[in-house]
Structure 1
Amino acid sequence: MKKLTGFSTFVESIKTSFKIAVIYAGSKDDPDKVIKKSINTRSWKSYEIVANDIAQALKRNGFQNVLLLAEGVDLLPILKQEKIDLVWINSGGVQGVNPVSHLPAMLEMAGIPYIGHNPTNATVLDNKHLLKWGLRAKELPTSPFFVWNSNREDFTGKDNAKFLRNFGDYSGPFIVKPVTGRGSVMVEYVETLEELTNTIPQICHDSHGAVLVEKFLSGDEYTVAVMEPIIWQNSEFYQLDKPLTFSYTKRNLDRDEKIFTSMDVRPIDNSRFEVLSPNKHPDITQKLSEIAQEIFLSFNLETLVRLDLRADQEGNINVLEANPKPDLKAPQPDVTSLVCCGLDQINSSYDELIMSILGANLRSLYMDNGKN
């Protein structure tokens, strides 16, 4: 680790003047946020509670000008009026097709720096089929799959050329999910090919888009967080050699639970996962770290993501998806997030994690101003 003393001093010097807006998702039912209401291909959630957690952590870290605002068509004039220096995106979008890309695209147009994925990466990460095509191209492990949109064409079953090309004589079980979404919403376990012909059109209809059909993997399910190689510890920023990985977890599934239940349905308390220690589980944590670092670098990511992975019956770990807006809820005694549950693995607190994420963005600003 390389200590970034000059950069740490720079960040300290701007805390009283630098203005940060933390953005959550506005509602399309609010007439100030949209011009006309439309569909949303991603299950909507405001994320306001977590946005407030982030804002409070920034204030505890000494930033004196932190605003909490809702995404919508009225946001740009507010950002201009308030002379915002940096936006922290904690929104999954308001409405429409590919809503996670709307806010970063708007900020790019306006020239306002932000913490979040650029519009292209937001699109790739949140559209599971695009990510999986990228994983295939980079020869990273992911389960067999195909994409189907029953709003355009009926799925006929095992005689379908796309099905045969990807699955051959495999006849189930499957996982069917919207190509974009969150929290296991509308994700279905399907036992047989016959059931598949009914499930695909139903989810296509309900999600207003295409679905991803993939082979069900029956092994253990894991998560890992990965972010820029910047960390804030002991009131100093440090530069790492590789992207930072942490919170290696194994999800605990009930006997009849085929897929991990959404946090909206069942809170993620400590009984629902096991934090894997690199000392006690070196092989698994090393594998998770290697996959996460390769994805972060290969896809040229800019900020934190959480990877969801699962093993097949032979124990081979496959990437399921990469969450572009993982839950950053501040840990509480009985409830936490799959990102924050393993902060002690990097000797970090929640407030230090927020500063680490912020530092990766401010580091670019610092270097753009001719510093090193």
Structure 2
Amino acid sequence: MIDLRSDTVTKPTAEMRKAAYEAEVGDDVYNEDPTVNKLEEKAAEMLGKEAALFVTSGTQGNQIAVLTHCRIGNEIIVEENSHIFNYEGAAISAFAGVQPRTIRGVRGAMNPADVEAAIQEDDIHAGETGLICIENTHNRAGGAVVSLENMEEIYKIASKNHIPVHLDGARLFNAAVALQRPVKDIAKYTDTVQFCLSKGLGAPVGSIIAGSEVFVKQARKWRKRLGGGMRQAGIIAAPGLVALQTMVERLAIDHKNARKLADGLMNINGIKVVNQVDTNIILVDVSERGLTSNQFAQLLKENGVLVSTFGPQLVRFTTHYDVSVESIEKTLQIIKDL
């Protein structure tokens, strides 16, 4: 099977497996796992933040950030198609007791003027704005890169109003490679940031959240409350360290493969690529074929290709480390034949 469902399906490299086997470990709840400590220090350095924390998943990282920044009854400003709002089981409400204030974005980017207008005034009828969240790259916008100019404007507005900014940077390194900038150039327009080790970077598990030392100290307690305190976690942190050291620059290959796939799909009758392909995600409308996304995905599955459905007519293709140029060419041929 050619698996284009998500970059979460990547298998760890041989170097990652070896690092996991040889990892020096300790009890991370006591801050005594040297491999976890190295991973957190490396991540904080790359992001330009004071400290970082290894967590089990991107969703857990985002929820810890919301819990740390906000109080019950706050509002958080999010883009209406953001992962935090659509794909995390309403956890911001279930756990943090906050409600989302959604803003319609353009290719995942919120208009700074809309963000400013959404900030609640001091009013007994309203929940105070406790946090502004940005997603970069933006999943539902097809891996779109939010510009640094947009992030800077929102960050200035937030700072003026004494509101923290959190970046859901699950695919932050894809954004950095697409922009040809170090990740700290993106992270500097945020107070806190989360990124996944287990997507394009290819590690088997885990994410990082980072910010000030005060934030991370509080976040560590929330991680414990959520059952995320890990013991000899160096075994799973070691592949993450390898990922940061060896898997960042090669993301450009995934982006190149995605553009090759998109170009090929656009030449097939009844297949419409609906997003600008900035990184490793292609969104395709199959309605002109008279098929639903589920029917199209099933047809591909029967012929050796796995994709994700993204709505009644939309299908998502995602390139990653385990997808070669040959896999792209084979996928295009299969779809042409069908």
- Report which structure shows greater RCO (CA 8 Å, sep ≥6): 2
TM-score bracket for the superposition, by shorter chain length: under 0.3
Instruction: Report the structure, 1 or 2, having the larger strand content.
Output: 1
Q: What TM-score, normalized by structure 2, do the two folds share? A: 0.26
| Bigger fraction of residues in helix | 2
Q: Report the TM-score, using the length of structure 1 for normalisation.
A: 0.24
